[in-house]
């Protein structure tokens, strides 16, 4: 047969393949296309490859004069140092000609048993394999016969190869081809998508809260699939926390283990494993299948980053300097009342506009238990603060003097504390606004007071108005109770008597109805000695007689000497009003 006739025959067969005709397989031997790398992670001029395999277990194939074709142009296959004889069951790897001088992308992956080959041209096909449109890769023997052809699918991830699943299924069946499990594919090795005798794989791990009240209690649903050809018996499952993040399960990192008694080939099972987080924040959790006969151990592990949100109040906004003196910076103080350390890496701060959050720290900064942390736009505070307790934030929120909101977010963007303050709460003009009790409500004006220290601020130390104890041996008594201001001359007023453990204090005494509405301010920020009596005539702030019923008497005391604050409450019954 002449060269012209041979070329015409090749072109005719190429056109049939390009039109989607599935050519007959094993026309002239037993060599199949097994893998195609058309969009490599490296250079397209050096790192494309076509992998072939001799499916015969007894006969070798001489590849002399064979070509690889992309539907537009063909390249003669030539040897690359190991000859052109493809042994029984051997894999052949056809690499770009420039790979050997300009790349080593697959050097650590190619099996020593593979036959490495190349082409006469610089790239495979007409300027290389296309990434933008599917092409038909053909393997043509010395007689011009198409031994095998595959039209690849471009809809796979960059850097991944197009791999054959099974050698006994047609090359033209798209279901017999899949994206490789890993970048670089599997050049010169068993395809990552091809089934083996024993192969368990972790398909998915999903974390669920196992308690609505305690978010540290979790469970994992682990989906395991037997991707091998044989059933598997007595495989082990290990749930571990990768504390050192080395992607390896140490014995000390194991959280929970279980066994899979039996799993048939192709079947899937879901295993539920419990986990109790011992601390809040980020956790790298991993699952590993333990099966000594597994031939693909690379798919036996899966990792998931789990975020355990910090409880509300684990850090509290404790002091606010929103209206500093000229040339002094704004700042806030955080207090950590819990017994564990908190890393402020990834935490955020914002003003009332929570759509603009400001990162507190890009590095790990731990705040120890029962300690304070200052967040400021500058380290130049008017009073001395240890550098270890102060984080300079750039940028820093601009807090309004009169009123604004302050929000503290953990790395999961959960609001851990927030304060919506206003000028009437206290502070201003170089005096900070201090929290009285860290356990008290953040948005209760009664839990805030202007700093009473001489410096006008207490950054990094105990607040000047902090309250260590609720009781402090204070008493609050009412007599008579009930009382009836009905004009008969008996029990007309209630005598509200208080005794304090302080010699000198400021008191606020108010009355609330059962709906929580303040109906009367009897004393508001009045100086007092260690004891006193206040009278209530049964009227509200407008001078009208209050309705018959139960009322709450609320006393708040501030001791100037110690900064301690007391809150006491009791009830009084108003009866017999005409």
Q: What is the pLDDT of residue 29?
A: 45
Q: What is the pLDDT of residue 578?
A: 45
The torsion region of residue 549 among left (phi > 0), alpha (psi -120 to 50) and beta comes to left
Residue at token pair 């002399």: 64
Can you give the pTM of this predicted structure?
0.56
pLDDT tens across 212-240, in order?
Answer: 778 789 999 999 999 999 999 999 999 99
Helix H or strand E encompassing 9: helix 3-18
Q: Which domains are delineated in the chain?
A: 3-179 (2.60.40.1260), 200-308 (2.60.40.10), 316-450 (2.60.40.1260), 475-574 (2.60.40.4070)
In this structure, the dihedral spanned by the alpha carbons of residues 406, 410, 412 and 417, taken in order and rounded to 10 degrees, is -50
For residue 508, whether the previous peptide bond is cis, meaning omega lies within 30 degrees of 0, is: no
Q: What is the pLDDT of residue 18?
A: 40
Helix or strand or coil: residue 255? strand
Q: How far apart, in whole angstroms, are the C-alpha atoms of residue 120 and residue 77?
A: 7
Class of residue 187 by CB neighbours under 10 A (exposed 0-12, middle 13-18, buried 19+): buried
Q: What is the pLDDT of residue 230?
A: 96
Strand order in the sheet with 331-336: 390-392, 371-376, 331-336, 316-321, 433-435, 448-450
Q: What is the pLDDT of residue 126?
A: 85
pLDDT tens across 476-513, in order?
Answer: 999 999 999 887 878 888 889 998 888 788 899 999 99
CA neighbor of 344 nearest in space, from 321, 312, 310, 319: 310
pLDDT tens across 174-189, in order?
Answer: 999 999 988 999 999 9
pLDDT tens across 335-384, in order?
Answer: 999 888 899 999 999 999 999 999 999 999 999 999 999 999 998 898 88
Contacts of 516 (CB under 8 A, 6+ apart): none
Please, are residues 137 and 150 in contact by the beta-carbon 8 Å criterion? yes
Q: How far apart, in whole angstroms, are the C-alpha atoms of residue 194 and residue 176?
A: 10
Which positions of the chain have pLDDT values less than 50? 1-29, 468-472, 578
Q: What is the pLDDT of residue 467?
A: 57
Q: What is the pLDDT of residue 473?
A: 65
Q: How far apart, in whole angstroms, are the C-alpha atoms of residue 475 and residue 494?
A: 16
């Amino acid at each position: 047969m002449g060269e012209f006739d041979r070329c015409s025959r090749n072109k005719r067969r190429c056109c049939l393949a390009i039109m989607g005709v599935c050519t007959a397989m094993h026309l002239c031997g037993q060599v199949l296309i097994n893998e195609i790398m058309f969009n490599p992670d490296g250079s397209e001029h050096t790192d494309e490859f076509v992998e072939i395999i001799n499916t015969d277990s007894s006969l070798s194939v001489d590849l002399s004069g064979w070509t690889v074709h992309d539907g537009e142009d063909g390249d003669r296959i030539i040897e690359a140092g190991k000859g052109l004889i493809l042994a029984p069951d051997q894999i052949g790897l056809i690499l770009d000609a420039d790979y050997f001088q300009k790349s080593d992308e697959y050097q650590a992956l190619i099996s020593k048993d593979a036959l490495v080959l190349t082409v006469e041209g610089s790239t495979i096909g007409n300027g290389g394999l296309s990434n933008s449109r599917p092409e038909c890769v053909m393997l043509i023997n010395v007689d011009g016969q198409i031994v095998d052809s595959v039209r690849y699918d471009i809809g796979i991830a960059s850097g991944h190869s197009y791999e054959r699943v099974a050698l006994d299924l047609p090359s033209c069946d798209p279901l017999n081809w899949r994206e490789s499990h890993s970048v670089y594919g599997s050049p010169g090795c068993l395809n990552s998508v091809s089934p083996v005798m024993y192969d368990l794989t972790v398909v998915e791990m999903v974390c669920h809260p196992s308690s609505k009240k305690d978010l540290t209690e979790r469970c994992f649903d682990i989906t395991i699939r037997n991707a091998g050809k044989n059933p598997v018996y007595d495989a082990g499952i290990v749930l571990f926390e990768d504390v050192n993040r080395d992607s390896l399960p140490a014995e000390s990192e194991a959280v929970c283990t279980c066994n899979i008694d039996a799993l048939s080939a192709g079947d899937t099972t879901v295993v539920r494993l419990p986990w109790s987080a011992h601390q809040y924040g980020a956790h790298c959790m991993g699952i590993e299948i333990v099966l000594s006969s597994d031939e693909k151990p690379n798919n036996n592990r899966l990792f998931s980053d789990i975020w355990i949100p910090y409880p509300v109040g684990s850090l509290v906004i404790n002091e606010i300097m929103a209206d500093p003196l000229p040339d002094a910076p704004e700042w806030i103080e955080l207090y950590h009342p819990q017994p564990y350390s908190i890393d402020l890496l990834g935490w955020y701060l914002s003003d009332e506009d929570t759509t603009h959050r400001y990162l507190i720290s890009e590095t790990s900064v731990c705040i120890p238990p029962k300690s304070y942390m200052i967040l400021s736009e500058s380290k130049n505070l008017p009073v001395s603060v240890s550098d270890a307790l102060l984080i300079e934030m750039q940028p820093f929120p601009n807090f309004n003097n009169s009123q604004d909101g302050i929000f503290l977010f953990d790395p999961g963007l959960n609001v851990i504390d927030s304060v919506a303050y206003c000028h009437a709460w206290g502070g201003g003009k170089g005096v900070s606004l201090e929290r009285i009790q860290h356990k008290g409500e953040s948005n209760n004006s009664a839990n805030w007071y202007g700093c009473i220290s001489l410096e006008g601020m207490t950054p990094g130390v105990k607040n000047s108005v902090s309250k260590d104890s609720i009781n402090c041996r204070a008493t609050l008594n009412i007599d008579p109770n009930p009382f009836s201001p009905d004009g008969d001359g008996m029990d007309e007023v209630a005598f509200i008597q208080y005794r304090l453990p302080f010699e000198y204090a400021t008191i606020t005494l108010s009355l609330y109805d059962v709906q929580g509405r303040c109906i009367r301010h009897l004393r508001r920020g009045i100086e007092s000695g260690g004891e006193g009596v206040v009278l209530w005539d049964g009227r509200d702030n407008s001078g009208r007689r209050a309705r018959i019923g139960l009322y709450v008497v609320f006393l708040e005391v501030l001791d100037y000497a110690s900064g301690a604050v007391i809150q006491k409450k009791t009830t009084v019954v108003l009866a017999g009003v005409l």
